[in-house]
């Protein structure tokens, strides 16, 4: 009996072609150099509190870039790397745009596959967000104005934050975030079980079901913007479009913000530019609530 693959894919090679961002990257080497150089520049130029512990394991740390003024809105960013690569330091650059707009930025680290499971990574992302909601006031941030950002696997983890039972599991408000801006996220991870990533991420059917945000959409007051680069493979657009449909079916608000000419790597660089659509979206989401 032939293997039946998700999303109508006909072969494992088709899945690899659809989800390997290098295959459609405009210049991945240049993008990586920019991440490295701009991240180092951000750490030098901005106030920077590195490797603050949010949990019991070595990997559970986060970096804070405090705003110039207290009571600032907060940008909580989760990096990508398909859950098996990258670190918070690689993405210090995302603090540049929000800092110019008066935000405190938090970039979280988490353990990576295959040393830990995807279930554990999701647990760590939730623990980091709970820490921020409880403690960011001590670093000049306003816990009532925390906006989630995430890229690629970080987009997936951001969506899992939106699926969390914050009241029952953490004793926090049901919808504690002022907004979410997720870029090139993975919201149905079923195809990745059959991809080149499987030796590292080691998914089984249970892990797919537990950790696919599209399977856990709930009624949620958090405004959501889904973005991707239009030069990426169609699979990334499909992920966002299908998640938007599920999000709206649950009665929630979502907007799409595709980025013309951007690939998987340059799409996240929009957070470095305070005038970009993504940063201006953060600015709107982070405004104080109307009395």
- The structure's pTM equals 0.98
In the chain the domains, ranked by start, together with CATH numbers, are: 10-263 (3.40.50.1820)
Of the pLDDT bands very low, low, confident and very high (cuts 50, 70, 90), residue 88 is very high
- Length of the chain in residues, anyone? 291
Burial of 54 (0-12, 13-18, 19+ CB in 10 A): buried
pLDDT digits (tens, 9 = 90+) for 115-167: 999 999 999 999 999 999 999 999 999 999 999 999 999 999 999 999 999 99
Q: Is 176 exposed, middle or buried (0-12, 13-18, 19+ CB in 10 A)?
A: buried
Tell me the average pLDDT of the chain. Answer: 97
User: For the segment 90-124, what is each residue's pLDDT rounded down to a tens digit?
Assistant: 999 999 999 999 999 999 999 999 999 999 999 99
Band (291; pLDDT cuts 50, 70, 90): low
User: CB within 8 A of 214, min separation 6: which ones?
Assistant: 187, 188, 242, 243, 246
**Hey, how many other C-beta atoms are within 10 angstroms of the C-beta on 100?**
15
Tens-place pLDDT, residues 42-86? 999 999 999 999 999 999 999 999 999 999 999 999 999 999 999
d(CA 211, CA 185): 13
Give the whole-angstrom CA distance, residue 187 versus residue 194.
Answer: 16
- In this structure, the number of other CB atoms found within 10 A of the CB of residue 24 comes to 18
pLDDT band at 3 (very low <50, low <70, confident <90, very high): confident
Is the predicted pLDDT of residue 1 greater than 70, yes or no? no
pLDDT at 144 (0 to 100): 97
The answer to whether 202 and 114 are in contact (CB under 8 A) is yes
């Amino acid at each position: 009996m032939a293997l039946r693959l998700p999303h109508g894919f006909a072969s494992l090679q088709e899945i690899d072609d659809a989800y390997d961002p290098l295959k459609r990257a405009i210049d991945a080497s240049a993008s990586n150099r920019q991440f490295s150089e701009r991240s180092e520049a951000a750490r030098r130029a901005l106030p920077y509190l590195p490797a603050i512990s949010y949990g019991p394991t070595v990997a559970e740390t986060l970096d804070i870039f405090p705003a110039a003024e207290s009571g600032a809105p907060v940008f909580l960013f989760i990096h990508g790397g398909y859950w098996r690569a990258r670190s918070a330091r690689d993405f210090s650059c995302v603090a540049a745009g929000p800092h110019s707009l008066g935000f405190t930025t938090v970039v979280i680290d988490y353990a990576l596959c295959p040393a830990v499971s995807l279930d554990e990574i999701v647990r760590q992302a939730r623990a980091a967000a709970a820490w921020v909601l409880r403690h960011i006031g001590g670093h000049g941030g306003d816990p009532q104005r925390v906006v989630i950002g995430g890229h690629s696997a970080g987009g997936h983890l951001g969506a899992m934050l939106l699926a969390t039972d914050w009241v029952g599991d953490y004793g926090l408000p049901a919808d504690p975030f002022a907004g979410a801006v997720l870029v090139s996220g993975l919201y149905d991870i079923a195809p990745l079980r059959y991809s080149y990533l499987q030796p590292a991420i080691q998914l089984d059917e249970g892990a797919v079901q537990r950790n696919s945000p599209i399977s856990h959409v709930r009624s949620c007051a958090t405004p959501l913007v889904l973005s991707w680069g239009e030069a990426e493979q169609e699979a990334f657009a499909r992920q966002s479009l299908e998640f938007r449909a599920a999000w709206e079916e649950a009665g929630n608000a979502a907007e799409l913000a595709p980025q013309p000419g951007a690939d998987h790597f340059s799409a996240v660089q929009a957070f470095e530019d305070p005038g970009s659509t993504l940063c201006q979206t953060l600015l709107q989401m982070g405004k104080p609530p109307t009395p």
